[in-house]
């Protein structure tokens, strides 16, 4: 199998830069038949014709000192963010804020990928340039949220499952044509609600099917099994649940013939529940999380892009920094939304005259996390705003 995979990787055509930007789909899926012995039955090894490109994209996103800006909030969630600064949830206001983010000067020095909502993928900036083109000019890989959100899971303990597999193949093909090169699918597991075996299996299977479909369309799948912060459980319980969830996820990824070299993992860090009285230090979070990574994640996976999950801006950066104090088999980095945008959004306040100051605030956070990815963050000079926790009980994304 290993030699077959190597052959497939070597034989796949490499897309050049002009194709990458135009988003032209010039290849078709292929199937390779391998016989391990003349008398054995033939078995199919599925390999996307995008294999080389998937590996290249994943490595680009997982490049030293850089991480992901998650700006894929749905229109409803973006509306909540805008409401917090007194703005109405209109397309014009969403466009203005997203323009502010993607056009921050020098953002590509710290950010390698940006996850977009579908509206943003097809949107132009307030200056009339395509958002995708602005990102590419910044050397930032455009990505796209492809799941359709969480809904109640019948037969479970008040748990949820993630919908969006129906029609995903045609949608991912269209997203590739529009310039996206990676995708994201978020599903969640709740510790206070069990989690039930049904919910864990459903989460793992959905992630695996999504990943296989995305790779078939040329998109690197970000696999996001989030262990919610809700609860008063200790860090050991989080570790126990995460071990089970990650084992299921990678089992089903393998069952669906997903190429590990062409994915990125977006997990939550191993922390106590948000309501636990025993708080963990950055070193404890790093120790537990890295132990879990070593037990569950194949070194073939290029990047571990942690979500912040309601941690404060500073807390998320300190924890990431602690995980990068010694070499890891993977690129251990970040894919933050609120932990990159909170101070930026409040600084902007919807006022055009505050755009530069807001962009500066975004760059401060992006640089801090860039340093943390390199293990060089000190935490000096952080504002009080950046230290405020952002956990919301029962948070709906």
What distance in Å separates the CA atoms of residue 42 and residue 379, rounded to the nearest whole number? 57
**Cβ-based neighbour number of residue 328 at 10 Å:** 16
**Residue corresponding to tokens 């990824």:** 253
Q: Which tokens in the block code for residue 364?
A: 């401060």
Could you tell me which of 86, 66, 62, 97 has the C-alpha nearest to residue 341? 97
Q: Which tokens in the block code for residue 124?
A: 């132009």
Compute the half-sphere exposure of residue 94: CA atoms within 13 Å on the CB side of its CA.
Answer: 22
Give the phi and the psi of residue 207 in degrees, each rounded to 5: -60, -40
Catalytically annotated residue among 118, 224, 226, 382? 224
Verify whether residue 376 is a known catalytic residue.
no
Verify whether residue 266 is a known catalytic residue.
yes
Please give the radius of gyration of the chain, using alpha carbons only, rounded to the nearest integer: 20
Q: Are the beta carbons of 143 and 178 closer than 8 angstroms?
A: no
Q: Which tokens in the block code for residue 131?
A: 């958002």
Catalytically annotated residue among 202, 248, 266, 382? 266
* First-last CA distance in the chain: 40
Give the phi and the psi of residue 140 in degrees, each rounded to 5: -110, 130
What distance in Å separates the CA atoms of residue 111 and residue 379, rounded to the nearest whole number? 19
4: three-class secondary structure by DSSP: helix
Exposure b/e, 117-146, CB count within 10 A at least 16 = b: bbbbbebebeeeebbbebbbebebbbbbbb
What distance in Å separates the CA atoms of residue 47 and residue 163, rounded to the nearest whole number? 25
Residues with a known catalytic role: 224, 266
């Amino acid at each position: 199998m290993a030699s077959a995979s190597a052959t497939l990787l070597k034989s796949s055509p490499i897309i050049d830069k002009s194709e990458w930007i135009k988003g032209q789909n010039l290849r078709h899926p292929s199937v390779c038949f391998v016989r391990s012995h003349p008398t054995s039955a033939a078995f199919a090894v599925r390999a996307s014709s995008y294999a080389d490109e998937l590996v290249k994209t994943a490595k680009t996103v997982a490049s030293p000192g850089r991480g992901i800006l998650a700006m894929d909030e749905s229109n409803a969630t973006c509306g909540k963010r805008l409401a917090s600064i007194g703005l109405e949830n209109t397309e014009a206001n969403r466009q203005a804020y997203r323009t502010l983010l993607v056009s921050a000067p020098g953002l590509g020095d710290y950010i390698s990928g940006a996850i977009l909502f579908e509206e943003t993928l097809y949107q132009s900036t307030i200056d009339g340039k395509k958002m995708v083109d602005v990102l590419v000019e910044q050397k930032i890989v455009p990505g796209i949220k492809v799941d359709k959100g969480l809904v109640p899971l019948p037969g479970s303990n008040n748990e949820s499952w993630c919908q969006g597999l129906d029609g995903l193949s045609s949608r991912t093909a269209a997203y590739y044509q529009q310039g996206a090169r990676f995708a994201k699918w978020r599903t969640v597991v709740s510790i206070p609600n069990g989690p039930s075996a049904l919910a864990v299996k459903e989460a793992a299977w959905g992630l695996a099917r999504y990943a296989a479909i995305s790779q078939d369309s040329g998109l690197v799948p970000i696999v996001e099994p989030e262990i919610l912060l809700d609860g008063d459980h200790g860090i050991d319980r989080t570790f126990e649940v995460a071990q089970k969830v990650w084992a299921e996820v990678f089992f089903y990824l393998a069952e669906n013939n997903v190429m590990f070299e062409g994915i990125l993992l977006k997990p939550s860090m191993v922390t106590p529940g948000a309501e636990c009285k025993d708080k963990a230090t950055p070193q404890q979070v790093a120790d537990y999380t890295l132990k879990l990574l070593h037990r569950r994640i194949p070194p073939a996976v290029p990047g571990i892009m942690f979500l912040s999950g309601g941690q404060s801006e500073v807390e998320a950066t300190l924890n990431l920094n602690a995980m990068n104090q010694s070499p890891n088999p993977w690129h251990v980095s970040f894919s933050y939304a609120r932990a990159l945008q909170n101070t930026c959004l409040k600084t902007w306040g919807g006022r055009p005259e505050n755009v530069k100051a807001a962009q500066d605030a975004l760059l401060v956070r992006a640089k801090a996390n860039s340093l943390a990815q390199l293990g060089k963050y000190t935490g000096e000079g952080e504002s009080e705003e950046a230290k405020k926790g952002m956990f919301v009980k029962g948070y709906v994304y």
